[in-house]
Structure 1
């Protein structure tokens, strides 16, 4: 090889690896030359050796060298002309300088200002950790029946379901959901009003995008569901936290006059996390005020299928005709979290204004899962599964309540035990909930600090939210004893 004077022979002090298990020679050569260019060991304008000479020097095929050069040229690292192949001039951002011994501090990357509002409110925990809220009894899910529904969906739909579907969801699933909601939750809707989403969180974000503008006011429950606050923050909305008492969200005449909302988020049938039920008087007042003010109510009915005492509490959406309510639901609690299917029921008044935006904003996906779920509901498997889980969760709720009474060994008050998958235990402020929740992680226990659900925490917002969906009843006594001991260690 007769290299040019500008070509560093040190690039090939180490020969290419010709072992049968190594990467192809063309790829090795391409990678070595590319890195030399990016590291500035091959300066812009320097000429690479002729393909024949480099092939002889490396004892490889000339076609291998030619292919590597052509690949570099296609990527823009080199330029080829009649005089040969030379290194292209790259932008400085693509050519990082060699690191200095003492690096200068670099500015953080620029992101949207709204991201600064989103703070972690709970230590990360594994889904398998005991007493974690929001996790259903996954070991009791009827996998065999679900597998049959999935197999049937694949057989019936065939390869056609591999493509995009209806942006607002598979018609079969929307029909099945509409029928179920009418019977089980008293929701007034037809399939055309239902939009299938990737869980309740996407439904919330979709409501924000469809119904609000940056700077609008949104009311949220305090303490309340953190995901709702994140959705509002993601839309640059001005969030007003409203307190929750034993009868649910407290919205006064003064609130309506001083800070009228564009959106009102509420969990009326089972407030999360304290478990209150919004009274009929407050529901009707909220609907009337929202209608008068041109506001929209986002009703999250996330786990109200699991009512443990008395008759189910009906949805607010079906309380009066043409209510300004968007009804949100998810199958994360009634089926399993990784299914990632939820739904949004639009009021009739929004069908036409949102028709084109929804067609453009959404893409139909998870088609086999949607079709399988439609069959799972229509065949009665869903209702049977709900019945089994209601009995299981009712028993676990009673067992956890008894374990708290007998083994916690602290002053406490239990709330939220008539529905859902969790209990809330309020504690005196001398036992800091965040410290207890953090310490619990070391023992595979994942309660959530009640104070973490509040934007404006009050002294009474000190406690633990304990999930019983994913934990066997025989474990409650030792787990509660451990929590009591951790609370006493954290006492201030």
Structure 2
């Protein structure tokens, strides 16, 4: 291939401002050698000639050639510089793949696929109204935090999180969720997925049993599988996780994962009787209960009331790890979550967390602490509660009008989503994919189940969708469902 074609991207405007030309030259030549566009033995222009051709300083070309020479991609002598003969399998345009054991682990292959819909499209679950967030206040608090930055904030964050945020989270959870804890029991981690990963790795050994709700939050299931745990799917009914008689004896769990205040995705609330039974079971068996406070910040069943109290508050010294995140309260990209652990386990678990993970976002943590301490986050939640309640009411009415009594509507006591049941003639996976092509992004309910899914429906988030747009969007979704039904449940 002519060198001029290889270097045609040297002044690509997409990277020109972000990368020095000498590094760009080096990377272009290296890539062309690796993929075979510049064959072994190809003589490269002299440094003076190439510099003149490309309008560069000769030192820039010397820099690129010297890097390539040091890495073995070119050879040079008094006669010039040419492409070196590389080891078999590293060039020639063929993707090298070793034939031995260089594959992903069995655990990696067992992880169920999670198909990501467009997170900002209508009815995508899992996101709050990002437009309504008090960005000006948040920007001011971030500015204040950056003004106080020292070298410590630019290094790894404090083990377990910034002290002021740990104190603020403890006070916030005590007032809002009935969680009994001190700052020393709170550990800040980089997102809810890290919290679940820590529970799986620090509280159980590979091969031990974990009970998971069925249907279950897919990322939680994947965290447990990736840690080598053996999942047992426990069915969920209108009162939450419902272990079958004898399951405690047949499959005693090391971990029990539940979303009790607003089961994800069905929206049921775990009854007090079952909460106490789960606590008694893990206490008797030496296990742990992971209470994921997923999507329960807004109580629609009792307007103005606080969210349902946490299981952790029933018996603060019980073996319960309370996990939560600020994704639904602030924005998903913040990646700040928390774990509340029993007082008697705080030192040991804290040491394990420090050994596994490195903290970051110290500046954002300080800003978040002030947002909590000032009460501004609580005021924001109070402002949004009636907004989300209205959106849910409008969505319910529109779904009833568009789909009728044959499609039950589940959930809604809390959170930011509803579940719409579908008849067998309208497979949820087919409808979800067809809806995405129309700019609507619900998720298929069957994707949340383990094994043969008994549920067929759609999980519809309304956090991002304004009430005035909902009826037309549901009408569009109903039209897509009608086409899927007519096509016999296959893509049209």
Q: Residues 73 and 271 of structure 1: is their aligned pair in 2 closer, same or farther, counting only changes over 3 Å?
A: same
Q: Tell me the equivalent position of 1:360.
A: 355
Tell me if structure 1 keeps the 8 A contact 2:211–2:253: yes
Unaligned runs of 5+ in 2: none
Superposed CA offset, 1:222-253 (max 9, x none):
01211111111111111111000111001244
Q: Secondary structure at the match of 1:92?
A: coil
Q: 451, 466, 477: which one pairs with 1:472? A: 466
- More moved, 285-294 vs 475-484: 475-484
Q: Tell me the equivalent position of 2:109.
A: 116
Q: Tell me the equivalent position of 1:489.
A: 483
Normalising by structure 2, what TM-score? 0.85
Displacement after TM superposition at 1:415 (Å): 1.5
Q: Secondary structure at the match of 2:460?
A: strand
Q: Secondary structure at the match of 1:423?
A: strand
- More moved, 162-171 vs 106-115: 106-115
Q: Take 1:359 and 1:56, find their aligned partners in 2: how far apart are those partners?
A: 54
Q: Secondary structure at the match of 1:126?
A: coil
Number of aligned residues: 470
Structure of higher CA gyration radius: 1
Q: Residues 437 and 86 of structure 1: is their aligned pair in 2 closer, same or farther, counting only changes over 3 Å?
A: closer
* Structure 2 residue 440 is matched with structure 1 residue 445: yes
Q: 452, 457, 461: which one pairs with 1:463? A: 457
Tell me if structure 1 keeps the 8 A contact 2:190–2:359: no
Displacement after TM superposition at 1:166 (Å): 0.7
Q: Tell me the equivalent position of 2:194.
A: 202
Q: How does 1:91-170 map to 2 (within 5 A)?
A: 91-94=87-90, 96-97=91-92, 110-122=103-115, 124-158=116-150, 160-170=152-162
Q: Take 1:151 and 1:458, find their aligned partners in 2: how far apart are those partners?
A: 49
Displacement after TM superposition at 1:157 (Å): 3.3
Q: Take 2:152 and 2:462, find their aligned partners in 1: how far apart are those partners?
A: 41
Q: Take 2:345 and 2:134, find their aligned partners in 1: how far apart are those partners?
A: 37
Q: Tell me the equivalent position of 1:294.
A: 286
Q: Tell me the equivalent position of 1:320.
A: 315
- More moved, 54-63 vs 189-198: 54-63
Q: Take 2:23 and 2:157, find their aligned partners in 1: how far apart are those partners?
A: 42
Displacement after TM superposition at 1:423 (Å): 1.0
Q: Residues 119 and 359 of structure 1: is their aligned pair in 2 closer, same or farther, counting only changes over 3 Å?
A: closer
Q: Secondary structure at the match of 2:266?
A: coil
Q: Secondary structure at the match of 2:149?
A: helix
Q: Secondary structure at the match of 2:463?
A: coil
Tell me if structure 2 keeps the 8 A contact 1:223–1:457: no
Q: Secondary structure at the match of 1:157?
A: coil
* Structure 2 residue 403 is matched with structure 1 residue 408: yes
Report the RMSD for the aligned CA atoms in angstroms: 3.6
Displacement after TM superposition at 1:133 (Å): 1.1
Q: How does 1:114-263 map to 2 (within 5 A)?
A: 114-122=107-115, 124-158=116-150, 160-263=152-255
Q: Secondary structure at the match of 1:399?
A: helix
Q: Secondary structure at the match of 1:343?
A: strand
Q: Secondary structure at the match of 1:444?
A: coil
Tell me if structure 2 keeps the 8 A contact 1:187–1:315: yes
Q: Residues 90 and 309 of structure 1: is their aligned pair in 2 closer, same or farther, counting only changes over 3 Å?
A: same
Q: How does 1:337-416 map to 2 (within 5 A)?
A: 337-409=332-404, 411-416=406-411
Unaligned runs of 5+ in 1: 1-9
Q: Tell me the equivalent position of 1:71.
A: 67
Displacement after TM superposition at 1:188 (Å): 1.3
